[in-house]
Amino acid sequence: MDDVIIKLDDSLFLGKGSKRICYLHPRDKTKCIKFDLDRKRGFTVDEVRHYRRYRRRGVRFDVIAPYYGQVETDAGTGYVFGIAYDYDGMISKDVSSYLRTCNDEAVLDDLFAGMASLKRFMVRNAVMTTLIEDHNMVYQRLSESSGKVVLIDGIGNNQFLPSANYVKSHARRVIKRKWHKYERKMITVFKRRPAVSKRFELLNEKRY
């Protein structure tokens, strides 16, 4: 049994959020293993249901971290997802890092083009998320001057009524509303950083 159970240690730790903890997969560095902090709530179980629903619909996972299934570890059952890497072999940083520290105009332009592409993809494919947050997205640099934004967390529907899971028109309205709320919030958060706030204003004007 020991030869099939994956062993985890602190050297594999990637991060911890409000709902989950994440480790690098020791047998495949292109993947990570996530665990719910509250196993009874089953946040990831719900997320996996949505992944399966989108897969049945033929949704491509170009800008969503792919889900690969469950594994047994010495910390319990974990859920395996893909990791985005930059062209230089480093794990892609979350969008939040670039919004707060990047001063390269070309990179910021490409970052926001990536967010616009993700927004368009989610609306057109009715891909639901519980919350739009910059730490739930990474900017995967495919070269020194270009990349794409990938959604790595938060797939699901936290609406009181679940109709958006089944009615695409309703899902699209919810997604647009969540993006609008996120963009307006970021315009205020970065009001002292006009290079970012103005780009959020332009993103907010895009209608899909």
Residue 22 domain boundaries: 10-82
Lookup: tokens for 131:
């919350």
185 within 8 A of 158, measured Cβ to Cβ: no
pTM beyond 0.85, yes or no:
yes
> What residues have CB less than 8 Å from 9, skipping those under 6 apart?
none
**What CATH number is attached to the domain comprising 45?**
3.30.200
Given 82, 114, 146, the domain boundary residue is 82
Per-residue confidence band for 160, with pLDDT thresholds at 50, 70 and 90: low
How many domains does the chain contain in total?
A: 2
- What pLDDT sits at residue 2? 46
Q: Could you tell me if 77 and 23 lie in one domain?
A: yes
Residues 109, 37: one domain? no
pLDDT (mean) for 129-141 = 95
Q: What is the rounded CA–CA span in Å between residue 26 and residue 31?
A: 9
- The stretch 49-78 carries a mean pLDDT of 94
